[in-house]
Amino acid sequence: MVLREVPCLLLEVVPLSLAEANAFVARLHRHHGPTIGHKFSLGVASDGRVVGVAIVGRPVARNFDDGWTLEVNRTCTDGSKNVNSMLYGAAWRAAKALGYRRLITYTQQDESGVSLRAVGWRIIAERKARPGWDCPSRPRVNKNENQGRLLWEAS
């Protein structure tokens, strides 16, 4: 019996500049825009085409910004299967290789987190919905959508 060859979708992790990752996010992210800065960005490519990105930077919450912790500030995919899990796994391996001891991220309350669970991340806290980040000392446009969030940690 001769088995016929089935094309295999080969996924590989690739380095990206912040500009490249932000351009992908601007094009495809459903509720967030590009980030201001990062420590590193990476992508997953299939046949030379980027199908997902992760942007990793300093934690947004200043209590977590201890010099040992990074945050996955954005992930974004074109919907290709398993790409988000691959991004979270690669981000944690890269952060550890750079000497960081902790990597965190947030999801909205209504998101399943299946990509995070698939690579061993765990929920460590729930954050209640808040009307926004606007305050007199630092006025901001509300982009929060008043959603509760889950705080995840790589393990």
* CATH number for 114: 3.40.630.30
Give the total number of structural domains in the chain. Answer: 1
Examine residue 2 and state whether it is found in any structural domain, yes or no. no
Taken in order 115, 22, 69, 123, the sign of the CA dihedral is negative
For residue 84, give its domain range.
11-153
Q: Which of 89, 59, 54 is nearest to 75 (CA)?
A: 54
- What is the C-alpha separation between 74 and 110, in angstroms, rounded? 17
> Considering just the CA atoms, what is the radius of gyration of the chain in Å?
17
**Residue 59 DSSP SS3:** coil
Examine residue 84 and state whether it is found in any structural domain, yes or no. yes
Average pLDDT of adjacent 10-residue blocks, the chain of 155 residues: 59 96 90 85 95 96 96 95 97 98 94 95 92 74 75 94
Examine residue 64 and state whether it is found in any structural domain, yes or no. yes
Residue 47: C-alpha distances to residues 12, 29, 50 (Å): 9, 22, 8
Its pTM surpasses 0.75? yes
**Residue 52 DSSP SS3:** strand
